Structure 1
Amino acid sequence: MILGGFAVAFTMVTILIKEQTYISEVVFGTVFGILMGPYVANVFDPRAWGGDRVTLEIMRIVLVVGLFAIGVELPRSFMLDHLRGLLVLVVPTMAFGWLVVAGFIVLLFPNLNFTSALAISACLTPTDPVISAAIIGGKFARKHVPQNVQRMLAAESAANDGLAYPFLSIAIYLTVESSRRVAIGKWFLVGWLYQVIVGTTLGAVIGRAFCLLMRISQRRGYIDRESYIAQYFALVLFTTGVASSLGVDDLLAAFAAGNAISWDGHFNEQVENEGFASVVDLLLNCGCFIYIGTWMPFNSFNTPELGITPWRLVVLFVAVMLLRRIPSVLLLYKWVPEIRGWKEAMLCGHFGPMGVGAVFVSTLALSRLPTPHFPPENQQEVLAANLQALVSFVVLGSVIIHGLSIPSFSLIGTIRSRSVKLISPTSTSSQSTSPDWLSFARRAPASVPHTTTVGGEDMESGSGQEEKESGVAK
């Protein structure tokens, strides 16, 4: 209740500031949570509320609502139409980042073996759908980020969040099981066939059945337009409850349910222009990141007896930001039809924030590990002692860097525009009036001429214009 009250008051202020500065609400929420947490004002301490179980369930609810919302808001049959690009972006990119980050963890923290490093890296593998929606779905990004990139990032963040389970489960099974054969067998049967395949199928069946039921109810006059929003959230909780009870991947189930509902576009038409869902989603996001700010274990960021020191954490964060996604996306983007050049690939590689999903997966991992002694007595306890310190530091850095990316690019674009006007005041009539921090992503390739309007006449630019000018000179 206290957290909800803070979230409501904070949301009102955040919306006003966000409209002017383009700074994501996740940054404000996290900073506000830190100020209210046990290390500053000590207004409330979530770690005193009952351990990691509360954190796990709060992150779960926020994630499933966000994933369901992404599934519903995607265009009809989007996942099928863009399956090739999504598979290329999700599976090899996640696997590459998982292995590379694990390698850096082993180098920086020698007390962790490679299997434990894989478990920690699995927590940092998924792209956070909540931060992605807050950044890519903002007003400035909606105006300047190409729509194909927005949708691909949203769909990818939702899909790879649920697929973090198999990456985590293989590392956990290898850590806790005595035999590698048993660990790999459980990973394949439980981690993939049951949790992922059954979870996705369950969500799709529930979502499709719900859609048909709503159609029948509407035709017979049993339900009105306003009731669709109520059923929207009821279905999220129902799908999550069923999936969790069966032990399958509830995140993928929620995303699949949202996709199944919007598959034919009927549900989207009924809830179009309804702002209630967006308001609730914003409220949950603000409350969640206030919680994350208060949850941050700052006292664990300098624990030399475990090999955790600030400089090691900073180096790890830089390695994660540079190597987790960008190299893989740059290598593979030619197989993704929705990405039209290396600059859009850089954008997709950069916007891979870590937040709610990383906190959720790391807390889930801790629930499967023993409570560590100090000093730890075995590798399982070493992993449990190091896990949240490493993950939470990277999450904190990601929230700040990714949350400030849009306003930073906006500021750079404004400075560049003003510099051009100062240097070439006579050519300002041919300059675009819109901010250009991502104009490269909206331009056609250099080999394809395009037109701009100058003085009421259409003139070719790019290579075609250069050829014309050279011809005239001749």
Structure 2
Amino acid sequence: MTRFEGLCVSQFSVISLLVKEILYINEVVLGTVFGILIGPYCANVFDPRSWGGDTERITLEVTRIVLAVGLFAIGAELPRSYMADHAKGLLIMVVPTMAFGWIVVAAFIYALFPGYSYISALVVAACLTPTDPIISAAIVGGKFALEHVPIDLRHIISAESAANDGLAYPFLSISIYLTTESSSRVAVGKWFLIGWLYEVILGTLLGAILGWMCRHLMRFSYRKGIADRKSYIAQYLALTFFTIGVCYTIGSDDLLAAFAAGTAINWDGYFIAQTEGEAFSSVVDLLLNCACFIYIGAWLPFDQFNQPDLGITPWRLIILFLVILALRRIPSLLLLYRWVPEISNWREAILCRDIEPALYLGPMGVGAVFISTLALTRLPEPQFPPQTEAELLAATLQTIVSFVVLGSIIIHGLSIHFFSLGKNVRSRTLTMSRTLTLGGSGPEWLSGVHRFTRTSAGIQRSSTPSLTVAEQGSVEDEAKETAKPHIPHSVSTHSFMSDLTRKNEDCLRDGVPSDYNGKIRPSGPGELRNHSPYRVSE
């Protein structure tokens, strides 16, 4: 595994600028394609399913580590006290949206696959309910998203994908208990006591306490001069492994605990101020993500996508995937976005205007593989042919999940290209429709609009300020150009604000709150690469 990961990462690093910044292809797509190519259905040099009875356990632990590190990083890199300040929007986006998608997807699974009862369909739907935080982070952190997605929207997408990945446990546990327990009363009782109190609530509290303790301990050590910034960077792995180790030992929700620990350690903004500008977390994410998606690419069971005797056929899988994309998240977001302050209108609710639409389709990837593998550990070993409904579920669960994961990776890997193509076509169409010839009379709808006239003294402006005719003869909306300042894409909001954070490191070290009381005033020439009309001064 290590040699294949090293080959993929080394070659990806050579062409990373071309692939990520120009072609908009991230390590998720490249890792999956590379895994398929070296997997059992192509080169057959790497086959995780040939490792015997431990394959499911290895898959579970590989995905657990990658998810935990990613969730901790998301929590640690959110703005200070973000979860408290945006609790309303997150609560609405996570709980009702997950519940709606879970019920709707289960209904279509029940209708498409004749061997399933609705309870079995709920188990499969629970694996596909959470938004994958790894793919979401790769999309949100890309150049395209930095240019097109508002920063508030990027933050809430990251936080929501991290929170609902950990909250998949209750949806899975109630489905499993209803499948395996003989009494619904016993199943609901276990779900409340174990699924909610012991796994979710206890796991969240443990993660928050461990993050809080580490935050104060690291701050004390840094003040006393017995720890440096590198010690903070090490917590990306050290505290993550410690948290999931403790929660795994006692049987609590380790993924939600990792996210809570990351949120707690940066609750006052001090942790991110000390790690600002360090590339360690990005390097670790790249290595782990490449390794995980190489593994997933080689793990995908292509030979199981057509099993008519078990009710699995390609057309059923394709219809299910399309239904999931259309109905899993979008209807609930359109109904609930009015109560989410971070979403200003219905266009942002489905990300259909100047924003990549695939973000709110809800990518499915590592989280779905992890939850489905975890479900197999709680189901009986299947016989062939399956004798009970639980055995049928165990025999077909990962086949359905793996097909949806593959489709999600393809859609989210190519969505930017389709979106960019559509946007370019629309832009060219609008430009051509607005083109005027200086010597012509112009379209009828411009008959009442005053224009610029060229004289020997130069260009004289008419009394109508809204529209101008450029030298090339194209009509441009002057109000659109002057309505808001242009900040270049090379100066992102995060990098712009990082200067404020850096100026506060001394204050933070002395315990002063990290808010920077600067003023915004018009800038002079030469500042912010001569693009931004604002600058920060003390």
TM-score over 0.5 for the alignment? yes
Distance in 2 separating the partners of 1:327 and 1:458: 34
Q: In structure 1, what is the equivalent of residue 158 of structure 2? A: 154
Distance in 1 separating the partners of 2:299 and 2:478: 57
Amino acid aligned to 1:270? Q
Q: In structure 2, what is the equivalent of residue 385 of structure 1? A: 395
Which shows bigger deviation, 14-23 or 278-287? Answer: 14-23
1:400 to 410, 417, 436: 410
Q: Shift of residue 45 of structure 1?
A: 0.4
1:6 and 2:7 correspond: yes
Q: In structure 2, what is the equivalent of residue 81 of structure 1? A: 85
Amino acid aligned to 1:8? V
Q: Is the 8 A contact 1:101 1:324 kept in 2?
A: yes
Q: In structure 1, what is the equivalent of residue 66 of structure 2? A: 62
Q: Shift of residue 452 of structure 1?
A: 9.3
Q: Shift of residue 420 of structure 1?
A: 3.0
2:364 to 354, 361, 364: 354
State the structure with bigger RCO (CA 8 A, min sep 6), 1 or 2. Answer: 1
SS in 1 for 2:363: coil
Which shows bigger deviation, 345-354 or 164-173? Answer: 345-354
Q: Is the 8 A contact 1:3 1:291 kept in 2?
A: no
1:286 to 266, 290, 304: 290
Q: In structure 2, what is the equivalent of residue 446 of structure 1? A: none
Distance in 2 separating the partners of 1:289 and 1:93: 27
Q: Is the 8 A contact 2:29 2:413 kept in 1?
A: yes
Distance in 2 separating the partners of 1:224 and 1:245: 31
Q: Shift of residue 159 of structure 1?
A: 0.3
Count of paired positions: 440
Deviations 1:17-62 (A, max 9, x none): 1221112321121111111100111011011233201000000000
Deviations 1:196-228 (A, max 9, x none): 000000000000100000001101111111222
Amino acid aligned to 1:113? S
TM-score, normalisation: structure 2:
0.79
Q: Is the 8 A contact 2:326 2:361 kept in 1?
A: no
Deviations 1:64-96 (A, max 9, x none): 011001001100011111111111110010000
Q: In structure 2, what is the equivalent of residue 129 of structure 1? A: 133
Alpha-carbon distance change, 230 to 454 in structure 1, aligned in 2, over 3 angstroms: farther
Deviations 1:392-431 (A, max 9, x none): 000100111122222321222223333333333459xxxx
1:42 and 2:41 correspond: no
Q: In structure 2, what is the equivalent of residue 253 of structure 1? A: 257
Distance in 2 separating the partners of 1:136 and 1:400: 17
Q: In structure 1, what is the equivalent of residue 453 of structure 2? A: none
Distance in 1 separating the partners of 2:33 and 2:11: 11
Distance in 2 separating the partners of 1:258 and 1:59: 18
Identity of aligned residues (%): 64
SS in 2 for 1:404: helix
Q: In structure 2, what is the equivalent of residue 26 of structure 1? A: 28
1:213 to 209, 213, 217: 217
SS in 1 for 2:72: helix
1:335 and 2:339 correspond: yes
Deviations 1:98-128 (A, max 9, x none): 0110000111101011111000000000000
Q: In structure 1, what is the equivalent of residue 502 of structure 2? A: none
1:275 to 279, 297, 301: 279
SS in 2 for 1:340: coil
Distance in 2 separating the partners of 1:23 and 1:458: 34
Q: In structure 1, what is the equivalent of residue 226 of structure 2? A: 222
2:385 to 375, 394, 401: 375
Which shows bigger deviation, 318-327 or 398-407? Answer: 398-407
In our comparison, the structure showing a higher alpha carbon Rg is 2
Q: Is the 8 A contact 1:10 1:286 kept in 2?
A: no
Alpha-carbon distance change, 382 to 214 in structure 1, aligned in 2, over 3 angstroms: same
1:326 to 309, 330, 333: 330
Q: Is the 8 A contact 1:196 1:252 kept in 2?
A: yes
Distance in 2 separating the partners of 1:311 and 1:458: 48
Amino acid aligned to 1:385? A
Amino acid aligned to 1:399? I
Distance in 2 separating the partners of 1:369 and 1:418: 55
Q: Is the 8 A contact 1:370 1:384 kept in 2?
A: yes
State the Cα RMSD in Å.
2.1
Deviations 1:273-299 (A, max 9, x none): 111111111121111111110000111
Amino acid aligned to 2:296? I
Mind listing any 5+ residue stretches in structure 2 that lack a counterpart?
Answer: 352-356, 438-464, 471-475, 484-538
TM-score, normalisation: structure 1:
0.89
Distance in 1 separating the partners of 2:128 and 2:394: 15
Q: In structure 2, what is the equivalent of residue 409 of structure 1? A: 419
Alpha-carbon distance change, 181 to 18 in structure 1, aligned in 2, over 3 angstroms: same
Q: Is the 8 A contact 1:94 1:160 kept in 2?
A: yes
Alpha-carbon distance change, 458 to 413 in structure 1, aligned in 2, over 3 angstroms: closer
Q: In structure 1, what is the equivalent of residue 301 of structure 2? A: 297
Alpha-carbon distance change, 455 to 257 in structure 1, aligned in 2, over 3 angstroms: farther
Q: In structure 1, what is the equivalent of residue 524 of structure 2? A: none
1:100 to 104, 107, 110: 104
Distance in 1 separating the partners of 2:235 and 2:115: 49
Q: In structure 1, what is the equivalent of residue 442 of structure 2? A: none
Distance in 2 separating the partners of 1:426 and 1:282: 49
